[in-house]
Amino acid sequence: MDGRGFMFEMVLSELEDVVGRENVSISDGERLVYGVDYFWVGRMWVDKGRLPPKPDYIVRPASAQEVSRLLKIANYYKIPVQTWGGGSGSQGSALPTAGGIVLDTKRMNKLIGIDEYSRIITVETGMVFQRMEWYANERGYSVMHIPSCLTCGTVGGALAHRGIGIMSTKYGKIDDQCMSMEVVLPNGDIINTLPVPKHSAGPDLNQIFIGSEGTLGVMTKASFQLFDLPECRKFRAFLFRDMTSGFAAGRDIMGKIKPSILRLYDESETRSIIKKVVGVEQKGAFMNLAVEGIEKIVDIEMEVIRDICRKYGAEEMGSDYGEKWYKNRITFFYPGYTLDNPQMFGTMDTVASYEKVELIYWAMKHAIEDNFEGVRFIAHSSHWYGWGTMIYDRFIMDSPPEDPEEAIRLHNRIWNAGVRAAMANGGVINDHHGIGLKLSRLMKEQYGPAMQVFEGIKKSLDPNGIMNPYKLGL
């Protein structure tokens, strides 16, 4: 949207008419704020004093009805619309890279209701996730979706990128936990998916919008399963000789039990952790897990786990580490602990079957460490299934190029190398952070001819292509 001339003002008046003057922002100060999310490139850019991408308008609707009217206006004038929840995404999905409108969902933050008998909570999607969790906790429940962005991302954001929490191994990913939602389509129609998910009335409508990252519409309400708070949660840690035995043990465990937390660290990460635990450096692969639920059952499950781990030659490391880790897990994301500028870093999470996963780990490690000087690679597996597990692998470069443009180019080369190594060996381009801007260019490579299904849906729902351009490869 070219801001020159009076057309800017004409559109502004229409937007103000929908949400009220105080809920449309055009000031420079506010626009700057929406140009940076958790995407490394954007942060590095402003750290070097460069200006971030800016939207023309920021609108804050309070209801699905207002969203509907806004999208109709955007479609009429063919103005891009980027949906912004917490802006805490690491892939740049919320950034206003196409200018136009940023639709900040956070005024839609009400609790709609809790159906305790059915264990279902319904909220507006602009609610910060922690606040929904608090409403559940108040009544003795939990949504059991505990990501690191719990206190910063919105409910809508978690759905938009198909997020995961540390206890997903037992309680599922967000797409398992979401029951139903209300979505405003790009043409302004307000739709509801079915009240419960496990039906046989056609394809699952929820799953079309979950993970769509704002490209197919705006989610305005959502319902989630509630879980009773467990009677107990018990931690245990083990040190395996190597990752291979760790993976094998994990696979066996998953055949019998669903721990709530299961984390296997590669040799590099193990070296730094194990020193904190036992005070000396020791080689191997560290595993930290937790089982929770009814105590009697938890104790039996823990015994089964210990047997399995013993079978694979693991050393027992007690429960202290796990408890401390759980208590301090969020500390790692606060300034001073977290990775930050001037370092370059990224999480290239991927997920695969047990057959492939270790191969992928080594392929990615070599792809990064062998080809890029000064870059190190560390990984752990923290979300497990009966069929496989994911790798939460990070690359870290302590001294990236000073020049921001060079840094971006290097950053993208590293990403291509790592992600392609995963794809080449049966992995996928992302496990739970989403695609956003960062991996948009790799979607077609990943899907091949299957991409036309998404393109078809996109074209049908959003013929003018206004919803979050440049993202998700759509």
Partner 1 sequence: MFSETAKKNADACRFCWMCRHVCPVANSTGNEAHTPRAKGLLTSLVERGSDYTPDMAEIMYQCCLCGACSNDCVTGFEPPVFIREARTHAVVNGYVPPSVGPLTESVLENGNIYGKPASEKMSALKDVIGNLPQRADTLLFVGDAAAFRSPETALAVMGLLKKAGANYTVLPDEPSSGAEIADLLGYTEDVRQRAFGTAKALSDTGASVIVTLDPKDAEIFMQHYPKWGAAFSERVETATSCIAALVRSGKLKIRPVQNRKNVTYQDPCRLARDLNEEAPARELIRATGMNLQEMFLHGKLTKCCGGEILREYSPQTASLIAQDRLFDAKRTGASAMVTSCPGCTTSFRKCGDRSGELEVLDLFCLLDECS
Output the DSSP codes for 179-207. EEEEEE-TTS-EEE--SSSS--SSS-HHH
Instruction: Tell which residue, 133, 143, 128, has the closest CA to residue 224.
Output: 143
Considering only the stretches 129-137, 255-263, 301-309, 410-418, report the one whose residues sit in contact with partner 1 under the rule CB under 8 A. 129-137
Q: 């906790």: which residue's tokens?
A: 137
Closer CB to partner 1, residue 257 or residue 397? 397
Strand partners, 115: 120
Closer CB to partner 1, residue 119 or residue 131? 131
What is the smallest separation between the CB atom of 62 and partner 1, expressed in angstroms? 8
Closer CB to partner 1, residue 280 or residue 334? 334
What is the smallest separation between the CB atom of 222 and partner 1, expressed in angstroms? 17
* Cα gap 446→431, rounded to integer Å: 13
Interaction residues for partner 1, span 334-393 (CB under 8 A): 334-338, 340-341
- Is residue 225 a contact point for partner 1 (CB under 8 A)? no
As to burial, measured by CB atoms within 10 angstroms (0-12 exposed, 13-18 middle, 19+ buried), residue 348 is buried
> Hey, what are 154's tokens?
């919105």
> Which position among 49, 202, 255, 279 is part of the footprint of partner 1 (CB under 8 A)?
49
What is the β-pairing status of strands 227-228 and 141-142?
A: antiparallel
The letter for the amino acid at 141 is Y
> Which position among 2, 6, 27, 280 is part of the footprint of partner 1 (CB under 8 A)?
27
Adjacency order of strands within the sheet including 24-25: 24-25, 57-59, 101-104, 81-84
> Which position among 3, 16, 46, 293 is part of the footprint of partner 1 (CB under 8 A)?
46
What is the smallest separation between the CB atom of 35 and partner 1, expressed in angstroms? 9
What x-and-dash track marks residues 313-332 binding partner 1 by CB under 8 A?
-----------------xx-
Interaction residues for partner 1, span 51-70 (CB under 8 A): 51, 58, 60
> Which position among 130, 187, 207, 343 is part of the footprint of partner 1 (CB under 8 A)?
130
Backbone angles phi, psi at 361, to 5 degrees: -55, -50
- Is residue 88 a contact point for partner 1 (CB under 8 A)? yes
Considering only the stretches 36-44, 167-175, 186-194, 423-431, report the one whose residues sit in contact with partner 1 under the rule CB under 8 A. 36-44
Instruction: Tell which residue, 162, 94, 216, has the closest CA to residue 349.
Output: 162
Considering only the stretches 102-110, 203-211, 234-242, 411-419, report the one whose residues sit in contact with partner 1 under the rule CB under 8 A. 102-110
Closer CB to partner 1, residue 137 or residue 192? 137
Instruction: Tell which residue, 393, 403, 395, has the closest CA to residue 345.
Output: 395
> Which position among 72, 106, 119, 441 is part of the footprint of partner 1 (CB under 8 A)?
106
- Is residue 73 a contact point for partner 1 (CB under 8 A)? no
Strand partners, 228: 141
> Which position among 1, 18, 25, 442 is part of the footprint of partner 1 (CB under 8 A)?
25
Instruction: Tell which residue, 32, 38, 36, 37, has the closest CA to residue 58.
Output: 32
> Hey, what are 102's tokens?
């940023």
For residue 346, give the 3-state DSSP assignment: strand
- Is residue 161 a contact point for partner 1 (CB under 8 A)? no
* Cα gap 415→436, rounded to integer Å: 13
> Hey, what are 444's tokens?
């077609």
| Cis amide bond preceding 342, omega within 30 | yes
Considering only the stretches 123-131, 310-318, 369-377, 390-398, report the one whose residues sit in contact with partner 1 under the rule CB under 8 A. 123-131
Closer CB to partner 1, residue 81 or residue 287? 81
What is the smallest separation between the CB atom of 96 and partner 1, expressed in angstroms? 12
Closer CB to partner 1, residue 299 or residue 340? 340
- Calculate the alpha carbon distances from 250 to 244, 255, 303, 457 in Å: 10, 9, 14, 38
- Is residue 86 a contact point for partner 1 (CB under 8 A)? yes
**E-assigned strand segments in 332-371:** 344-347, 350-353
Q: In the complex, which residues of this chain contact partner 1 (CB under 8 A)?
A: 22, 25, 27-30, 32-34, 36, 38, 43, 46-49, 51, 58, 60, 84, 86-88, 104-109, 126, 128-131, 134, 137-138, 149-153, 330-331, 333-338, 340-341
